[in-house]
Every structure is written in C-alpha cells, then in structure tokens.
Structure 1
Amino acid sequence: MASVRTVCVYCGSGFGGDPAFTRAAETLGAALAEAGIGLVYGGGNVGLMGTVARAVLAGGGHVTGIIPDFLKSRERMLDDIQETIVVGDMHTRKRLMFERSDAFIALPGGIGTLEELVEQMTWAQLGQHRKPILLVSVGGFWEPLLTLLDHMRAHGFIREGLDLNYLVAAEAEDAVAMLRDAAPPEVPPQAEALVTERF
C-alpha cells in the first residue's frame, strides 16, 4: 500500500502578488494536517512558507523546519513548530529535507523554490528516488516552466527513457489525494530484510 507520511513543501519566503497564493498555502497546510501528514519545510515564519506551516499547526499537525544558520534572522524562525533543525549550509538543509520526506510539493515561489524543485526532478530523472513530485499551479503559476520543459523535450534534451515524472494540480485541495495515488508501494519489512541479506 502506498504511504505518504511526510511532505516537503517548497514555496516562497514572500507572498507574491496574488492573494490566491496565500489561500493555497493555507488550504494545503490544513489538508496535510487533516490527513495526518507531517510537513517538512524551510523553517521560516515569513511569506508562503510561514503560512503553510502555521496552517499545519492550526490543524494539529506536525511540522519540521530545517534552516541554515545564516537565514535564522532573515526568515525569522517559527518557534511554535515541534522540530527545528539548524544546519550549517544550504546543501545540508536540502539533503535533510529530502531524507525526511516521502513526497514533494511546490507552491508558487521564487528562484530558490524553482532550484529546489528542479533538483528533485533531476534526481528522480537519474533514478535516485521515486518520491512523487507535485506542482500546485495556482492561477497557472507553473505554466511557463511546463512550457520550458516541453521546449526541452522538443529539442531532444529531455529524451525518451529519461523523461520527467511530476504531477500538476490546479488546486491545493487536490494535492494530498494525488500524492497518495502516485506514491510507490511500501516494501514490507520482511521483504526488505531479505533483500539486505542477499546483498
């Protein structure tokens, strides 16, 4: 049975120009909490990232924030979350966010959000993980990226056999169900033990 226990949400440290972005962050946070899915995020209390974290907390959910030391004051750490991990650099932050998450969601955001999203797409393309990746394209926010990916395919840079696997939701309320449907099946502990013994 597929299982998503924790989701890493990438999103802006600002609110953007459309109030629908904030509403989507609130909706997603509430949906994660209601589903009993923990949030892993960048640890800040600003913009959409703070909004989604507060919404998870308001719904009684669990939040893990992972933040580099140099961003603690700039992104104003959210003190109310259950777990905060302060790391030395961005690379460590991203590695821990990956390790602690069963799936990834990208809400609207800036270049940092884009970079984190594309890194997960790349790792999946190279066979390094099978965790679902979902873009919440509020008001068509991610359409330019999807157009660019189609452009890359058309020019042969995203080739058959190395295509990208990602999901796109127009509405934040659809995200949880889509991730659960896409999650790879769990390996039973006894089967995992057998594999370990073989190798």
Structure 2
Amino acid sequence: MEKFTTLTGVAAPMPLVNIDTDMIIPKQFLKTIKRTGLGVNLFDEMRYDRDGNEIEDFILNQPAYREAEILVAGDNFGCGSSREHAPWALLDFGIRCVISTSFADIFYNNCFKNGILPVVLAPEQVEVLMKDAEKGSNARITVDLDAQTVTSSDGDVFSFEVDAFKKHCLLNGLDDIGLTLENASSAIDAFERKSAQARPWV
C-alpha cells in the first residue's frame, strides 16, 4: 500500500449528501476482485449517459478536475452497502483523500486499509474548502497527515482528528498484510522456531 504523508492537489467539490457506495461504484462492476481498473467506472451513473458518453457538466468530467486527488463532499459520504470496491474505485481514479463532515463507518475504515485518508471537519470548515475547490485547478489544497491539518489555497488551516493506529498505518503504507509482515522478523519467526523444535517432524 502506498504511504500517505502530505498531499497537495486539486480538490473536486461534490456538495451532495448521502453519496452511497452504489453511486461511487455501481453493483454491476463488483464482479472483479482486482483493485485496479475500477477508476473508469467511478460515479459511473453520474459520469456517463445511457450510450456511454461523458456527461459534460459532471464535476470529474470537467477539464479542471480530471486530475483531482481530493474530494470535498457532503455529509454521510460512503453510506450504503459495505463494498470495498468503493475505495478501490476512488484510488484507481487517483483520489487519495476525501473530506466531509461525516462518513459511514465501514467505508471510513475501508479507506484506511486502501491508502485513502478520510478527513472529518466541521460543516463551516468543509464549506470553506468546498468554495475553495470550486475555483478549479488553480486552487490546490494541502493535506498533511503527520501534522493533521488541511490547508486551503488561501492559507486557511484546519486541524482534524485521526486514530493514532490508523495514522501509523497510513504514514507507513501498512495494510492488513503489511501489518502482519511488520511482525514477521519477531513474533512470527519466534513462533516458527519454537514450533519446529516442538514438532520437528512437521
């Protein structure tokens, strides 16, 4: 998993509330177990018409936001079913951070396991960042995980809270497998040596 330390990038404004996981990645794209290739179908039903043509006024189809790495979204982002494909699709598109006033719990935790930082801020702070994001590609927001701050293009700085363990994992690029391997040279190796002595025939 890629480390998340500091990110400075274009932020796309999505002021909708209750953006659920089916809106993020519709159910027909859940057949794969690969984490790549889903970005093209991110927000599929909002991005494309029935013939597969891009809907020009959808935010991620606009030239200023095609390279967005941050989403500034409305309340209760990631609600609905617990599909892990939702953060996979966001990450595959290039989104590394989502800022909102609140997130669905399962989606929130899945983000950390996939290298995405979900940031919870107060409504008035999200509103400032939403307006900042509306300026387009010239306005870049900086997210500093170590300092736990979000800085607007105008220099407004907002602090956010994050669980210390989740922060450690993101800063060091550790998913569940990475966490296991982190202990490989100590606890796991020690267990295997002890097991080999106790059961040499295995």
- TM-score after normalising by structure 2: 0.30
The structure having more radius of gyration, on CA atoms, is 2
| Structure with the higher fraction of residues in helix conformation | 1
